[in-house]
Amino acid sequence: MELIVKKKTKLCDLEAGKLFMTPDMECLAVKSEYTTEQGAIEAIIVGSGEMFWGGTSDPKVQRVLDVLEVEVIWDNIPEDTRSRDKCIFYDCYQGRHKCTHRDAMSNRCYGVCVRYAEK
């Protein structure tokens, strides 16, 4: 699995559901379709589940922050991490702990296998 930077854009111009990183590549987050009553975009930091503000508390500034749209490429995942038979626990970047194998995805959560059954 790898992250590919697709383009630089403003947070407000990014499509809902897309992953993005800050230009310094220190923070990975996902943009939701929702906004707060004050107009801030509800984007969630992947590592913590906190709302992404990008170093500001002003909704107008947050909306126009530069971000890097990223895409997850799954093609290079080793075959044993794709095997539903061998995997006994998938860890999801959204914080849910369910089997999220490509053939058995649930709740649109893309996880990676972290524990395997011995042969």
| Residue, of 112 and 70, whose pLDDT is higher | 70
Domain check: are 17 and 59 in the same one? yes
Domain check: are 61 and 87 in the same one? no
Q: What does pTM read for this prediction?
A: 0.63
**CA–CA separation, 76 vs 1, rounded Å?**
6
Cβ atoms of residues 58 and 68 within 8 Å: no
Question: Each residue of 15-64: pLDDT tens digit?
Answer: 999 999 999 989 999 999 999 999 999 999 998 999 999 999 999 999 99
Question: Each residue of 95-113: pLDDT tens digit?
Answer: 444 444 455 444 434 445 5
Number of domains in the chain: 2
Domain check: are 57 and 96 in the same one? no
Residue 48's φ and ψ, nearest 5 degrees, are -125, -20
Instruction: Look up residue 76 and give its two tokens.
Output: 């290079």
Segments forming the whole domain that contains residue 91: 79-116
Domain check: are 98 and 47 in the same one? no
